[in-house]
Amino acid sequence: MPFVLTVDQRGGRVDPDRVAGALGVLADVPTVLRFERTAGGEFQGVLDDPAVVVSVVLDLARSGSWSIGVGAGPVQTPLPGSTRAGAGPAFVAARAAVEAARRRPARVAVRGTASTAAGDAQAVLTALAVVVQRRSAQAWEAIALVAGGRTQVGAAAELGITRQAVGQRLAAGSWEVERDLRPTAARLLARSLG
């Protein structure tokens, strides 16, 4: 069973359109049905890997520009050629989730076949979204280098700062917290499928 993400641009009526840019960034994400604009400032995609869902949610949450709904459950098969033509409980759940996300502080919501697990997944994804939204540019620099495979010493050399300063940036950005919680979020999403 897949996951449907329904994503709506916040302030879409007054802010410039960000959907085309987001779709360009998401073009390389492995999907069951690719991300497509569904209406106005909204787009949708179907994924089958909960770890990828977590990554997409956090990448989108980082900017604070989106309300993100995750629906977990079955979809009608055979799958259509377009996400816009998809149907089934996961699509209905994603619609309910994006509506709920609009009212939540971190703008992330999960609805699924197993509602308790979906609520748990939502809680962890919300905490992670808050972490990534509050990071400084300096923390993001250090995290990008370390996540890309550099040691703290290597990151320090590239940034022109001490290894201790890199460690401080990673700590201030809650990098270890994110690393620990990502697999938890993915497991809870998988459980939300029922």
The answer to whether the peptide bond before residue 78 is cis (omega within 30 degrees of 0) is yes
Q: Look at residue 14 in the predicted model and tell me its pLDDT.
A: 63
- What fold is seen in the domain 3-133? Alpha-Beta Plaits (3.30.70)
Q: What is the pLDDT of residues 21-67, one digit of tens each?
A: 999 999 999 999 999 999 889 999 999 999 999 999 999 999 889 99
The structure's pTM equals 0.90
